[in-house]
Copies of this chain bind each other. A is one copy, B any other.
């Protein structure tokens, strides 16, 4: 059985916005499996913000190699296995990357229970980089409690939209989302039941926060960094928790990041800025997934998805994510 893997590889590291010259489309026959390897036919890839940082030398996240595929989490079906833990037909989740057929070490894969939730939900509402990230950020890092005023940046994105919904389910009194464009702010309020949303492209974020959170901000879940983080820092109160999940505004210039200029407000107001990545909570995944699956089945959380098509469009879909030209969880059906 000869199988052709169609893939996108990195040919040079971008400075700033990636363009076509940084990538190449390649077709290559899949080599026979070694012991402990599993061949997966990739179905869907999650297009996450961390992917951009993997393109840099010595990247913040685990890096892409020149000539190699671009890291991305995905779901797929086992075609062939030389590991006792996996059999043909199993649905699996793992770092399948920018290709149609992935030869994976078995330990990097996880079998999915599609009775708990359909395969796409494992990249969305229950996904590692989406639902679980939002869950640990809001529950364990932000420690959102009854009565809190919670602000989420990048709120229409996959993590942000989950974070806001989980904050509400955790007892927050007011959940305010920040996103770019009125179609997104409308979506946050009308479909995801955020209490309010700020369009950072067309509104003054600081002034709107003053109106919407006159008593200050208890918890900020930040996916964006830059000026928005500084706007929020000006409005923290004693005991506020700033949760640093990401900084998409900075990922295209990681060698010249804008640090939060108002960080001394942390001292003035005895507040905390705590960062995390989902893998820091690896021992607690079962708890997070259990809670998320329950909410998902009860219809308490909504994950909007935007599905693009074709592995050859991987670079273009990644740029769509970076420029905010999408809506909800961005998936690529390869």
Contacts and interface: CB of A to CB of B under 8 A. Distances in A.
Interface of A: 60, 225, 230, 238, 244-247, 250, 256-277, 280
A261 B258 CA distance: 6
A264 B238 contact: no
A264 B250 contact: yes
A186 to B, nearest CB: 30
Nearest to A273: B273
Nearest to A246: B267
B244 A264 contact: yes
17 contacts: A238-B280, A244-B263, A246-B267, A257-B262, A257-B263, A258-B259, A259-B259, A259-B260, A259-B262, A260-B260, A260-B263, A263-B263, A263-B275, A264-B275, A266-B275, A267-B275, A273-B273
A139 B130 CA distance: 36
A277 B273 contact: no
Contacts of A276: 267, 270
Nearest to A255: B261
Nearest to A254: B264
A275 B270 contact: yes
A263 B264 CA distance: 13
Which of A260, A264, A266 neighbours the largest number of chain B CB atoms within 10 Å of its CB? A264
B277 A268 contact: yes
Contact of A257 (B257, B264, B266, B274): B264
Nearest to A272: B274
Given A257-B261, A259-B260, A272-B275, 13 more contacts: A60-B268, A244-B267, A247-B264, A250-B264, A258-B259, A258-B261, A266-B273, A266-B274, A266-B275, A267-B276, A270-B276, A272-B272, A273-B273
Contact of A268 (B257, B265, B272, B275): B275
